Amino acid sequence: MDRVTLSISRIAADFPGNLQTGILDDSSDAQDKFADFANDEVCPVLDPETGMCDLYAARPMTCRVFGPPVRSEDGLGVCELCYHGASDEDIARCEMHLETDDLEADLQSQVETETGRRGHTIVAFALRR
What is d(CA 37, CA 40) in angstroms, rounded to the nearest whole number? 8
CB atoms within 10 A of CB 35: 8
Question: Residue 117's pLDDT band (boundaries 50, 70, 90)?
Answer: confident
For 7, 8, 58, 121, the CA distances from 108, given in Å and listed in that order, are 24, 22, 13, 11
∠104-110-116 over CA atoms, to 5°? 120
Question: Residue 4's pLDDT band (boundaries 50, 70, 90)?
Answer: very high
Cα–Cα nearest to 60, from 118, 108, 6: 108
What is d(CA 1, CA 3) in angstroms, rounded to the nearest whole number? 7
Range of the domain at 48: 3-65+100-127
51 lies in some domain? yes
89 lies in some domain? no
119 lies in some domain? yes
Instruction: Flag whether the pTM goes above 0.95.
Output: no
71 lies in some domain? no
pLDDT(5) > 80:
yes
Helix H or strand E segment including 61: helix 61-64
Domain count across the chain = 1
pLDDT digits (tens, 9 = 90+) for 18-33: 999 999 998 999 988 8
pLDDT digits (tens, 9 = 90+) for 34-90: 888 887 888 899 898 988 889 888 888 777 777 777 777 777 777 666 677 788 888
